[in-house]
Amino acid sequence: MQPNLLPAPIKERLRLRQRFALWVQGTVAISLLGIAVCVVANVLLSDMDTPVREELHQVKSVINRLEASEAAAIRQIELVTHELGVAEDIVGQPDWSILFGVLAAGLTDGAYLETLTTSLVEDDEGLEVPPPGNTATGPYRVTVTGVSLLQGDATRYALFLEQCRLFDSVRLVATLPRPDVSERAVGFEIMCEIGHIEEEASQ
């Protein structure tokens, strides 16, 4: 089973949106069927003296309105399920571009990352191995190192990663002076884990 990078609250919202989309589709289908039945019944039971051309014009007008309503409903469904469709693409395999975006979003001015490593966490043996492509089952350990201009910036960056709710755990492992960068610059190492969500959700 592939690791799911989405936090459990987001997955639950996606499931609710999927059910809502199915409900909208069912409601639209039933409504269209009911209106179509009424149109046919109106044609069959109407005054036989009414010209056929007038009846056909009425039917065509109703059909046009039905098609417009159906198109509007389809657009609504597409909007509701857009995020779900994107999320399902992510669930199939790790989408590290999301991880990169989150890591970049929390950096303050003058701060930057130096290294980013990912490895599979082997719970039974306490070992780490490089992720073997799309066959990985997780959980993953993500270790980032970087430089910030102030000690407080490194702490705030670790706090940002924790509060973004993408990771299961976040630890600021170490900070150290970086006089090679500037007098007050510090290097930092942050270790995160991700991929425990699916296991927790199944319990």
| Residue 117 sits in the same domain as residue 26 | no
Neighbours of 18 (CB within 10 A): 16
Q: Where among 46, 69, 91 does a domain terminate?
A: 91
CATH number of the CATH domain containing 119 = 3.30.70
Q: Measured between alpha carbons, how far is residue 85 from residues 42, 81, 91, 135 in Å?
A: 41, 6, 10, 22
Give Cβ neighbours of residue 168 (< 8 Å, ≥ 6 apart): 139, 192, 193, 194, 195, 196, 197
Based on the fold, state whether residues 104 and 190 are members of the same structural domain: yes
pLDDT for 84 equals 44
pLDDT reported for residue 40:
62
**How many Å apart are CA 193 and CA 6, to the nearest integer?**
13
Stretch (H or E) spanning 123: none
- What's the confidence (pLDDT) of residue 88? 44
The domain tally of the chain equals 2
Per-residue confidence (pLDDT) for residue 113, from 0 to 100: 94
43 & 130 share domain: no
Domain match, 73 and 106 both: no
3-state secondary structure of 181: coil
- CA dist., res. 172 & res. 1, Å (int): 29
Cβ proximity of 81 and 17 under 8 Å: yes
Is 2 contained in some domain?
A: no
Residue 181, in any domain of the structure: yes
Residue 105 lies in a domain: yes
Q: Is 162 domain-assigned?
A: yes
* Same domain as 135, residue 47: no
Regarding whether 82 and 53 lie in a shared domain, the answer is: yes
DSSP conformation class of 139: -
Indicate the pairing of strand 127-129 with strand 140-148: unpaired
Extract the tokens encoding 83.
């995020």
Q: What is the pLDDT of residue 197?
A: 44
Domain finish residue from 91, 113, 131: 91
* Same domain, yes or no: 103 and 197: yes
The answer to whether residues 111 and 176 belong to one domain is yes
Specify the DSSP class assigned to residue 133. G
Domain that holds residue 14: 8-91
- Per-residue pLDDT in tens (0 to 9) along the chain, 203 residues: 444 444 555 555 556 666 666 665 666 666 666 666 666 656 555 554 556 556 666 766 766 666 666 566 556 555 544 444 444 444 445 567 777 888 888 888 888 999 999 888 875 544 455 554 444 456 788 999 999 998 889 999 999 988 887 788 999 999 999 999 999 999 999 999 887 644 444 44
Q: Does the residue 3 lie in any domain?
A: no
- The pLDDT score that the predictor gives to residue 1 is 44
Q: Are residues 149 and 182 both part of a single domain?
A: yes
Q: How far is residue 125's CA from residue 93's CA, in Å, rounded to a whole number?
A: 24
Task: State residue 44's pLDDT score.
Answer: 58
CA distance 29 to 20: 14
CB 144 within 8 A of CB 115: yes
